[in-house]
Structure 1
Amino acid sequence: MTMSDDNTFRPNRRGVLAGLAAALFAPNIVRAADDSTAGPKPADGKSAVAKNEEKAADAPPLLSGDYAKERHLFRTDLLSKGPAPDIYEPLVTPSTADQLFYRSGVGSELELVAWVSRYTRTAKPKPAVLFLHGGNAIGQGHWQLMKPYIEAGYVVMIPSMRGENGQKGNFSGFYDEVSDVLAASNRLRHLPGVDPHRMFLAGHSVGGTLTMLVAMSTRRFRAAAPISGNPDAYAFFSRYPQDIRFNTKNPREYQMRSPLCYAHNFKCPMKLFHGTEEAHFDSRLALLAKRATAGGVKMDMETMPGSHNSALPGEIEQSIRFFESVAA
């Protein structure tokens, strides 16, 4: 893992996220919803994963260690290895972006695709945003959502991750993907004309959770804005057991995927966003903010009008305001 300053596909509720932006902006298209905590209940009552959630006694424990150091010591135990679970579209570079590759994984054996906004180098280096897409596949729709960041003057990168869109690597669900994001951020900060001291991090849904985990893993970012991310792996995987690849008998597997367990470890100012129709996030995000601020982290929370998807444009605009306030 990089820690330096680091096919048959079945449909599921996130399969539509590749076309998210088109659904948000095009008329007469029904908008998709990705409720990250609500999901089908097991037909036979409580699943084994749901029972694990109950064992968490309302919330995952707050642990005393440093998340970045714990990542050096921990290796996830994947009992099932293979690609990411989501339906995907071909990795065709958007017309307003450039494709580049970054290397990740043990020994940098993975070569993964990232999309970067086109920009002209100026005398003063440009600020940059690393945006982590929702779901477990990257699509053209995600890139369309980046327009406000680009218009605000940021160099924008969206990385794909291991096992996504037919690429190599084993999907792990919120763990080895953190290493991919750290590797992508290293690639971004070394791009010509990018200011490595004005790099920001944001992400939506699955990408929102990854944003939290990455922000606990490095001091590379000036600020981070998780959007509709779930900080509780027990709750997430109890709703979506099809995403589990790790050994569920080991509680550390859940803890290392739960920002709530290391809420005092965020290494940059944070602002949490979610929609008014996502009340299921309220208690967990409030607890995250409480634990974080008690540990000295600068963290705010803002609720924007709308659902998991419809609130996203407004949340992106507010994340820009947040980044500007931090960099002022």
Structure 2
Amino acid sequence: MTMSDDNVFRPNRRGVLAGLAVSLFAPGIVRAADDSTAGSKPGESKGEIARSDEKAADAPPQLAGDYANERHVFRTDLLSKGPAPDIYEPLVTPSTADQLFYRSGLGGELELVAWVSRYTRSAKPKPAVLFLHGGNAIGQGHWQLMKPYIDAGYVVMIPSMRGENGQKGNFSGFYDEVADVLAASNRLRHLPGVDPHRMFLAGHSIGGTLAMLAAMSTKRFRAVVPISGNPDAYAFFGRYPQDIRFNTRNPREFQMRSPLCYAHSFKSPVKLFHGTEEAHFDSRLALLSKRATAAGVKMEMATVPGSHNSALPGEIEQSIEFFRSVAV
């Protein structure tokens, strides 16, 4: 399904945020990063554009058309329907946050939980950050990571997605969840005292990929920071086929989940982050940046010392610097 902007543990890789959310913060269940860019492509589309000298025969095709428009006509075909795959914590609101609900799904059929930082309204509306958590379940550790944004003066929201933490809705893997992101952003921008013109988007790991796809779907965000997101759904699901819920015989299912296929569709300035120990992301993110900048998108790429988890505090601090450079 698609929506408009306004409607719009297992031990080996879904563990605790080692050395981060556990040892530094409260426990949180998350999924570890995809650590491979290997994976076969089920097929290619008629809309494929010549890749010239990209020298990446296994890269997803670059397609014509705008991603946002394609979302309005594409319907994902879920052959298996059910909740998100990660083991989860109870949805207990962190002590420094407030819980609110936002509606997503066709006709707003899904009522989903989001956590929002407490703030006092001021004469000047406050900037806001929508942060998309890693993994397919939200946990207390995710919220603890938001303190730098809050201390910097941002209103922060972390939304849960359909099928997560025992909530209603069918997990689709990088597709219908984008509609949830758009719906959550609509809820955030309408909160009292929030400046809708200074709303920023960031996400980590799976949330980083969702941040890319959401940034191609709307002009709503002033700037976007995907952190350790994989822009290649072929590679991601090639490594984690157990997460596939959609019809793999249709190559469009992969393409609509791959930011690399629509890199020209980003509608906000973007800065891509990943850790220096995540070299497996280098080639795909470099290709994403190459395709995007060739189309006139303002996109930067940076690495921060550390691994998928240990680099995250530094990446969050640098994302604040980036957001400030775009809009005070």
Normalised to the residue count of structure 2, the TM-score between the two structures is 0.91
Equivalent residue of 1:143, what SS?
helix
CA contact (8 A) 1:14 1:135 kept: no
Aligned counterpart, 2:85: 85
Give the Cα separation in 1 of the matches to 2:11 and 2:242.
9
Give the Cα separation in 2 of the matches to 1:19 and 1:176.
29
Aligned counterpart, 1:46: none
Cα distance, 1:52 vs. partner? Answer: 3.0
- In the alignment, does 2:310 pair up with 1:310? yes
Cα 1:66–1:177 change in 2 (3 A) is same
Aligned counterpart, 1:34: 32
Cα 1:62–1:125 change in 2 (3 A) is same
Q: Which 5+ residue runs of structure 1 have no aligned equivalent?
A: 42-49
CA contact (8 A) 1:19 1:139 kept: no
Q: Matched residue pairs, number?
A: 314
Aligned counterpart, 2:48: none
Cα distance, 1:21 vs. partner? Answer: 4.2
Aligned counterpart, 2:51: none
Q: Percent identity?
A: 79
CA contact (8 A) 1:209 1:231 kept: yes
CA contact (8 A) 2:25 2:141 kept: no
Aligned counterpart, 2:15: 16
Give the Cα separation in 1 of the matches to 2:238 and 2:295.
28
CA contact (8 A) 2:35 2:278 kept: no
Aligned counterpart, 2:230: 230
- In the alignment, does 2:205 pair up with 1:205? yes
Aligned counterpart, 2:4: 3
Task: Supply the AA of the counterpart residue of 1:34.
Answer: A
**CA deviation profile, 1:169-208 (whole Å, cap 9, x unmatched):** 0000000000000000000000000000000000000000
- In the alignment, does 2:207 pair up with 1:218? no
CA contact (8 A) 1:138 1:164 kept: yes
CA contact (8 A) 1:162 1:171 kept: yes
Aligned counterpart, 2:283: 283
Aligned counterpart, 1:44: none
CA contact (8 A) 1:18 1:139 kept: no
Cα distance, 1:242 vs. partner? Answer: 1.1
Equivalent residue of 1:157, what SS?
strand
CA RMSD of aligned residues (A): 2.3
Give the Cα separation in 1 of the matches to 2:223 and 2:13.
27
Aligned counterpart, 1:175: 175
CA contact (8 A) 1:60 1:261 kept: yes
CA contact (8 A) 2:18 2:309 kept: no
Cα distance, 1:2 vs. partner? Answer: 3.3
Aligned counterpart, 1:319: 319
Cα 1:18–1:160 change in 2 (3 A) is farther
Give the Cα separation in 2 of the matches to 1:275 and 1:38.
14
Give the Cα separation in 1 of the matches to 2:310 and 2:42.
29
Give the Cα separation in 2 of the matches to 1:19 and 1:232.
25
Cα distance, 1:23 vs. partner? Answer: 2.5
Cα 1:123–1:293 change in 2 (3 A) is same
Give the Cα separation in 2 of the matches to 1:52 and 1:193.
46
Cα distance, 1:132 vs. partner? Answer: 0.1
Give the Cα separation in 1 of the matches to 2:124 and 2:168.
37
Normalised to the residue count of structure 1, the TM-score between the two structures is 0.91
CA contact (8 A) 1:18 1:88 kept: no
Equivalent residue of 1:15, what SS?
coil
Give the Cα separation in 2 of the matches to 1:170 and 1:19.
28
Cα 1:108–1:68 change in 2 (3 A) is same
Aligned counterpart, 1:297: 297
| Range with bigger deviation, 17-26 or 247-256 | 17-26
CA contact (8 A) 2:17 2:309 kept: no
Task: Supply the AA of the counterpart residue of 2:74.
Answer: F
Aligned counterpart, 1:246: 246
Give the Cα separation in 2 of the matches to 1:185 and 1:163.
18
The structure where helix makes up a greater share of residues is 1
Give the Cα separation in 1 of the matches to 2:266 and 2:25.
37
CA contact (8 A) 1:17 1:139 kept: no
Cα distance, 1:58 vs. partner? Answer: 1.2
Task: Supply the AA of the counterpart residue of 2:155.
Answer: V
Cα 1:75–1:17 change in 2 (3 A) is farther
Cα 1:13–1:122 change in 2 (3 A) is farther
Cα 1:13–1:254 change in 2 (3 A) is same
Q: Which 5+ residue runs of structure 2 have no aligned equivalent?
A: 45-55
Aligned counterpart, 2:160: 160
CA contact (8 A) 2:263 2:292 kept: yes
